[in-house]
Amino acid sequence: MAALAAQWRKENKTVGLVPTMGALHAGHISLVDYAKAECDIAVASVFVNPSQFGPNEDFDKYPRTEAADIEKLEAAHCDVAFIPSPAEMYPEGFCTWVNVTAAPADRLEGKLRPIHFQGVATVVLKLFNLAQATKAYFGQKDFQQVQVVKRMVKDLNVPIEIVRCPIVREPEGLAISSRNRYMSAAETEEALCLSRALKKAKELAQTGEYTVAQIADVMREIVSEPKDASVDYAILVEGENLDPVPETDVVKPELWQDKELVALLAVRIGSTRLIDNAVLL
């Protein structure tokens, strides 16, 4: 990978990197499409990163579908599939980590999953260095992750552009995710409550008549409807640092022209934890 990247630099070629953990789906392929459209070379990495999983999370059962992933990348005309082993990424004696110690990493997912963003930031920086990418493409579904990577890039002066790409959804509205395959058909139907809640939140925000607390309450009510649902959070935040917005503030579109108001959800349907979000304004 490093040798290829060095050659591309000599040829003044731009490189678009799509970091993934495999089990590729239409959302990942949309990122490859963006990379191909904007760069000379499209690289997709496939690596289930052990350092971003906590001790009671789903690292062991996370789907690994390397042969199918390669077929999908070939069909999408991705130029390079980079599939390193854990031993290559974390050789014996590895002891250097990237820590994003404040906003936007210290809340929500960062609070619920304490080692998660350390693992994300470390492996992403390694991938950036190996591919010498010009741009890196991330899906909006992992909104907080995108903001953490942006902060890391800014703080460490990494010469790369981070591109946030739209969420790809099933026709019924469910955000496409590798973890969707954990759910039964009944649970998949129940999981539509997330997109319904976000759609309703956007409708309410755009009227300019409701407070932050009222919109958040409506979201929480909708995602609590399934009998198997458990809500980790349903919150409205400012987009850059994920700072909470005062609950008593009336959400007025004219006040959000220079920044983003984002609704974030983390909900368990049965044993499957799902995240989703929408930019409301």
What are the catalytic residues? Answer: 28
Burial of 8 by CB count in 10 Å (0-12 exposed, 13-18 middle, 19+ buried)?
buried
CA distance readout (Å), 162 to 46, 86, 136, 211, 250: 18, 25, 5, 32, 32
The residues, ordered by sequence, that sit 6+ positions from 4 with a Cβ below 8 Å of its Cβ are 80
Q: What is the DSSP string of 190-228?
A: HTHHHHHHHHHHHHHHHHT--BHHHHHHHHHHHHT-STT
- Of 105, 104, 103, the closest CA to residue 116 belongs to 105
**Around 121, how many Cα atoms within 13 Å sit in the side-chain half-sphere?**
26
- Of 280, 261, 240, the closest CA to residue 102 belongs to 240
